[in-house]
């Protein structure tokens, strides 16, 4: 889990997005079970299941992005960076912050254009219900906006920690965890050799 202090409003919104994804997943599971039962018992599918499921899947897939970034649940590999000196890590941290900011602006800008286009054209799904697609595109826009805001916040916080000569809190926790694991392993080895 990340120990970087994110703004409380951002954490609140990310938690709400995450809970929404959970509730939508429950709704999708219920719809899928009902559709399977309907097909088996009535020989027909529930009208619009494909449309609704598609829109729900989009929302479910992306609503948890910011929460995962805040909690440090995204996959990361520090094989190279962990072996570098403080100056190199500071430079890499600054480069990472700039790249995240630029990438975030480009993606969020593009998603905003797609959202506005869907609203202007009255874009709908292709199936029988003709559901508007803008709600799913709004979810994408907001999810990526919050995700990139949190990712840039984290990168800038780490950069500032390196510049001040410190170590980001996440690194301190990782180092403490490694020390604890090493100590436990050493203690286990000592007990093993003592028993023999």
Under 8 Å between Cβ of 31 and 49: yes
Helix (H, G, I), strand (E, B) or coil at 45: coil
What is the pLDDT at residue 174? 46
Maximum CA extent, the chain:
78
What is the pLDDT at residue 69? 87
Stretches where the chain sits below pLDDT 70 are: 1-3, 74-78, 166-196
d(CA 43, CA 108): 43
Under 8 Å between Cβ of 51 and 136: no
Under 8 Å between Cβ of 126 and 132: no
What is the pLDDT at residue 182? 54
Residues belonging to the chain: 196
What is the pLDDT at residue 34? 93
β-bridge partners, 136: none
What is the pLDDT at residue 183? 57
What is the pLDDT at residue 29? 94
d(CA 70, CA 126): 36
129 CA to centre of own chain: 31
Helix (H, G, I), strand (E, B) or coil at 132: strand
The count of other CB atoms within 10 Å of the CB of residue 61 is 14
């Amino acid at each position: 889990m990340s120990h970087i202090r994110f703004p409380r409003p951002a954490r609140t919104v990310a938690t709400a997005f995450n809970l929404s994804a959970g509730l939508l997943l429950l709704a999708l599971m219920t719809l899928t079970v009902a559709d399977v039962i309907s097909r088996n018992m009535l020989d027909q599918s529930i009208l619009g299941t494909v449309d609704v499921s598609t829109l729900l899947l989009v929302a479910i897939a992306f609503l948890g992005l910011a929460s995962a970034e805040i909690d440090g649940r995204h996959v990361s590999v520090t094989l190279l960076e962990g072996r570098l000196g403080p100056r190199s890590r500071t430079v890499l941290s600054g480069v990472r912050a700039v790249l995240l900011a630029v990438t975030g602006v480009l993606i969020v800008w593009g998603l905003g254009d797609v959202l506005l286009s869907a609203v202007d054209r009255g874009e709908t799904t292709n199936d029988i219900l003709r559901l508007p697609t803008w709600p799913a595109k709004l979810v994408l826009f907001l999810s990526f906006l919050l995700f990139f805001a949190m990712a840039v916040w984290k990168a800038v916080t780490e950069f500032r920690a390196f510049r001040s000569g410190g170590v980001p809190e996440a690194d301190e926790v990782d180092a403490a965890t490694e020390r604890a694991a090493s100590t436990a392993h050493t203690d286990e080895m000592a007990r093993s050799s003592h028993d023999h």
